[in-house]
Amino acid sequence: MIDITFSRQLIIIGLLFLMAFSCIDCNNVANDYKAIKPATASNWQAPDTNSLVSTPGADLIRYGKELIINTAKYLGPKGTVVFISNGMNCGNCHLDGGTRINGNCFAMVAATYPKFRNRSGKSESIQFRINDCLERSLNGKKLDTSSKEMAAMVAYLKWLGKDVPKNIVIKGMGVPIVPLLSRAASVEKGGHVFKLRCSSCHGANGLGLLKPDSSGYIYPPLWGSHSYNVKAGIFRLSSSAGFVKYNMPYNAKPQAPSLTDEEAWDVAAFINTQERTFKTFPDDWPMLSSKPIDYPFGPFSDSFSEQQHKYGPFTSIKNPKNNKVALDK
Pick from 235, 228, 239: nearest CA to 135 = 228
Any idea where the domains of the chain sit in the sequence? 49-170, 187-311
- In CATH, what number does 49-170 get? 1.10.760.10
For the segment 138-162, the average pLDDT, to the nearest whole number, is 97
- What is 187-311's CATH number? 1.10.760.10
Q: Which residue has the higher pLDDT, 118 or 15?
A: 118
Q: What percent of the chain has pLDDT over 70?
A: 84
Per-residue pLDDT, 127: 98
Asked whether the predicted pLDDT for residue 10 surpasses 90, the reply is no
Amino acid at 239: S
Contacts of 175 (CB under 8 A, 6+ apart): 102, 103, 104, 239, 242, 243, 246, 247
Tell me: the pLDDT tens digits for 83-109? 999 999 999 999 999 999 999 999 999
Q: How far apart are the C-alpha atoms of 31 and 325, rounded to whole Å?
A: 32
The 3 state secondary structure assigned to the chain is: CHHHHHHHHHHHHHHHHHHHHHHHHHHHHHHHHHHHCCEEECCCCCCCHHHHHHCCCHHHHHHHHHHHHCHHHHHCCCCCCCCCCCCCCHHHCCHHHHCCCCCCCCCCHHHHCCEEECCCCEEECHHHHHHHHHHHCCCCCCCCCCCHHHHHHHHHHHHHCCCCCCCEEECCCCCCCCCCCCCCCCHHHHHHHHHHHCHHHHCCCCCCEECCCCCCEEECCCCECCCCCCCCHHHCHHHHHHHHHHHCCCCCECCECCCCHHHHHHHHHHHCCCCECCCCCCCCCCCHHHCCCCCCCCCCCCCCCHHHHHHCCCCCCCCCCCCCCCCCC
The answer to whether domain 49-170 and domain 187-311 are alike in fold is: yes
State mean pLDDT over 103-117. Answer: 96
pLDDT at position 256: 84
Greater pLDDT, 125 or 55: 125
pLDDT in tens, 256-296: 889 999 999 999 999 999 999 999 999 999 999 999 999 99
